[in-house]
Amino acid sequence: MYVAVKGGERAILNSHKLIAEERRGDPSLAELTIEQIAAQFKLAVDRVMTEGSVYDPELAALALKQAQGDAVEAIFLLRAYRTTLPRFAVSAPIETRQMDVRRRISAAYKDLPGGQVLGPTYDYTHRLLDFELAANGGVGEPQAEAADEPLPDLMPPVLDILDREDLIEQEIADRENEPVFDLTRESMSFPAGRDQRLQNLARGDEGFVLGLAYSTTRGYGGAHPFVGEVRYGEVAVEITPEELGFAIEIGDVSVTECQMINQFQGSKDHPAQFTRGYGLSFGHGERKAMSMAMVDRALRAKELGEDAIHPAQDDEFVLSHTDNIEAVGFVTHFKLPHYVDFQAELQLVRKLRAEHAARHEMKEAAE
């Protein structure tokens, strides 16, 4: 007699062994080290840190190794680990003006104070498979040419130029004494303030935020943004311990920042002016920071008096679906048994069919 198999502990344990086996792959090959992943899969590590919302390249590399390179699974591991960490302080806002810049470009101005700094970017590579890389396994020790003089210490944000002419809306003034929404400690609420939206987008799935940003430029948002500036580099993180009463530096993080300039025709309350969209990611994550800046701007439609009719302008729609950890969980939970609810439905369908058949018979008998 055949009996439906119920899952047990042994099956689970064996399944764990199987993933360990798959993860290791061919045992005759050297095992990847965490250091190798952190150093050579840096962009993957940066994405995992951003969406996992923990700044720790080593942990992100470990998560990637454990997840066999699956970014979302690695993000999941990092988020779950993050849960167990106590919060000992809240940092002061980072000062990207003081950034130790490695890359800084503007699509709005050809030249500007501080200059365009191309830095490391794939933008101008030809996307041809590099068989040299496969043949030699590496490129030795490449060395980029150093500039004749170092970059200036202070590189003012490009949007300051527009700001001086009052052509762009003011950056939000210092809000040091205002409470900031904390998405990792509070549940989402609507309508969502910009602080909540930006936190959500920063942690949001890169692919999904990218798709939404794309939609705003394809007729579902009427946006035509200009990259005011993308900059990438190191900034210091400061906290103010209660017992000290003044700020101290606790380390550097590398971040990518995007300031987007958007057209705005003006409304009843606002004269015509450019508006801002803002994006920030850990490490080097330009695609994410740009997408985030575009969606941030789209979500401001209502406050700017624009018609909010497209998905990317709808805070409830956008914020409820950006988080890949939430999304993955719900979509995959359908793999779990649903015997009980399916049985309930099965019973109903049978009943409905029986009733339908009975009605049909009665009708035929009457004819």
Of 151-159, 272-280, 298-306, 343-351, the window that binds another protein (rule: CB under 8 A) is 343-351
- 24 Cβ contact list (under 8 Å, min separation 6): 31
Q: How far is the CB of 139 from another protein (least distance, A)?
A: 38
Q: How far is the CB of 74 from another protein (least distance, A)?
A: 13
Query: What string of H, E and C letters represents the secondary structure of 168-236?
Result: ECCCCCCCCCCCCCCCCCCCCCCCCCHHHHHHHHHHCCHHHHHHHHHHHCCCCCCCCCEEEEEEEEEEE
* CA angle at 205 for the pair 199 and 209, rounded to the nearest 5°: 80
**By CB under 8 A, residue 348 contacts another protein:** yes
Of 163-171, 243-251, 300-308, 336-344, the window that binds another protein (rule: CB under 8 A) is 336-344
What part of residues 172-201 is at the interface with another protein (CB under 8 A)? 184-191
**By CB under 8 A, residue 20 contacts another protein:** no
**By CB under 8 A, residue 88 contacts another protein:** no
- Length of the chain equals 367
Nearer to another protein, 263 or 339 (CB): 339
What part of residues 315-334 is at the interface with another protein (CB under 8 A)? 316, 325-333
Of 84-92, 101-109, 135-143, 233-241, the window that binds another protein (rule: CB under 8 A) is 84-92
**Look-up of token digits 């606790």:** 250
Angle between helices 71-83 and 324-332 (to 10 degrees): 110
**By CB under 8 A, residue 21 contacts another protein:** no
The amino acid at residue 213 is A
Among 133, 339, 360, 362, binds another protein (CB under 8 A): 339
- 232 Cβ contact list (under 8 Å, min separation 6): 101, 102, 103, 104, 119, 254, 255, 256, 257, 284, 286
Which chain residues interact with another protein by CB under 8 A? Answer: 1-9, 11-12, 76-77, 79-86, 184-191, 316, 325-333, 336-341, 343-348, 352, 355
